[in-house]
Structure 1
């Protein structure tokens, strides 16, 4: 469980100009994050534009990520969707011993009831050989996993080990912290509120902005986990504007703009997403200049 304390990063998937996966860019990104002090990597979460990758592409990205990482950091595989049986099959077929857990987003679009969400994760838990992290992001899925459902899953299934919480509700975070099993992990899914979430008991963050600024972010998170919030606060505040900019035209368009300006990978995204506007590129460049 200690593998997932600290700073995780949800990797972007770099693309070439023709839209194919840019494996050289992915290698540069992984090394950038390892050298930047990140604690673990999440391959093919939402930030990785997973919905636009084929099954074969996903398999290649997972394998390549494991190869380049070469055991340096723990790895988490993003395997989620809105077809329970299909996700279950994907988890069963997943064969890469380099990965320590699966991050699985709550089913989107279908808008299941809380009982439906519970039964979905129950189904996955009972056939998964790997620990599962629940991912609650109502802004993307159209439904919220309530604290009651989260804690019910945490108590009923030992291989459901964590929740990546991106509901933005501190009432919800507090209830999870109060009612969860002691060893169940609450992880922030939102960069801007990682500091106060850690103060409330979260063990870290799975970050987007960390793709570009791993040293800044990991230093801030480590200070928080040491209880040094007064020292962490200036770092937290310094990242707020670039984090805001990274999301205003959609994720990962903003963070890919930053990565291009850092010469790590291009800013190509797959439709229906589009690149950041020229105006946003300029604003992100200004923030990077102030931070570097």
Structure 2
């Protein structure tokens, strides 16, 4: 599955002033990604504010993304939740052409045991016709998918092809790399640690930063995958402050402020999220100008 090596971008969902989906903004964003050289797109992950979209809106976004992409890049659909029956039903009925895989976050709020997480993904694997990428993000879900559970799933279900790891634990990353099947992909779920994760064997990143700065992020990941860390390091360091800023008031408020500054789409988000503050927006704009020279 080398199509998922490199830079994936978890797309934001642009909104109009009335908070309806801004499909013109989404078109500009997708073309911005293609022009920026990213390797694949993730539609309606956490960054896409999926939990505040209706089923009809999700279907419209998935269909529109595939239409605009027109086969230029591989596509991944974010389909997750904390009701296994509902998730598997959505996956069974997911019929959008042009998608290559499904990214599914572990259940949030319920705080299942490791056996519960295993059974959740087992049900997803059995329901899916597309390959599955696990997504471990304990900061949002309040539970961790252990390395043992990740590798158990990887060994037992051939259509579970990788994991987006956002635990922040290099001990966990190391264990996954040691114990996973050879072709199972470890993917960074956090921009700031993508380069060092690649150094231990990760195949790339699913990025938030890439929404705003796709060329820079793509170059950083490409150089890292080539083992050219001497040239990758300055790019990595140049993004530290920008990355800190865009996450400081929550995701995707910060990156949407960056996208507004770049003229890609507006900065609107849906409650309970609120747009980035004026002070933060100004700092983000300053960082973009500094990065772009």
The residue that corresponds to 1:95 in the other structure is: 95
Shift of 1:96: 1.5
RMSD after superposition = 0.4
2:148 maps to which residue? 148
Aligned to 2:154, the other structure's residue is in SS state helix
Offset at residue 81 of structure 1 (A): 0.6
Secondary structure (helix, strand or coil) at the match of 1:134 reads strand
Q: How many residues align?
A: 292
After superposition, the C-alpha distances for 1:178-225 in whole angstroms (9 at most, x for unaligned) are 000000000000000000000010000000000000000000000000
- Residue aligning to 2:80: 80
Alpha-carbon separation, structure 1, partners of 2:26 and 2:237: 29
TM-score (norm. length: structure 2): 0.99
| Equivalent position of 1:48 in the other structure | 48
Question: Given the alignment of the two structures, is residue 208 of structure 1 paired with residue 244 of structure 2, yes or no?
Answer: no
1:133-189 deviation line (CA, Å, top 9, x unaligned): 000000000000000000000000000000000000000000000000000000000
SS in 1 for 2:124: helix
8 Å CA contact 2:191–2:243 kept in 1: the answer is yes
1:53-93 CA-partner distances (Å, limit 9, x unpaired):
00000000000000000000000000001000000000011
**Secondary structure at the counterpart of residue 60 of structure 2:** helix
In the other structure, the counterpart of 2:180 is 180
Query: Aligned residue for 2:138?
Result: 138
Q: Unaligned regions of 5+ residues in structure 2, if any?
A: none
Q: How does 1:1-292 map to 2 (within 5 A)?
A: 1-292=1-292
Deviation string for 1:246-285 (max 9, x for gaps)? Answer: 1010000000000000000000000000000000001001
- SS of the residue 1:237 aligns to: helix
Cα distance in 2, alignment partners of residues 67 and 74 from structure 1: 12
CA-CA distance at 1:110 after TM superposition: 0.1
Deviation at 1:97, TM superposition (A): 2.4
Distance 1:32 1:126 in 2: 35
Runs of 4+ in 1 over 4 A off after TM superposition: none
**In structure 2, what is the Cα distance between the partners aligned to 1:127 and 1:18?**
36
Q: C-alpha deviations, 1:76-121, integer Å up to 9, x for none?
A: 0000010000000000110012000000000000000000000000
Distance 2:289 2:185 in 1: 35
Cα deviation for residue 291 of structure 1 reads 1.1
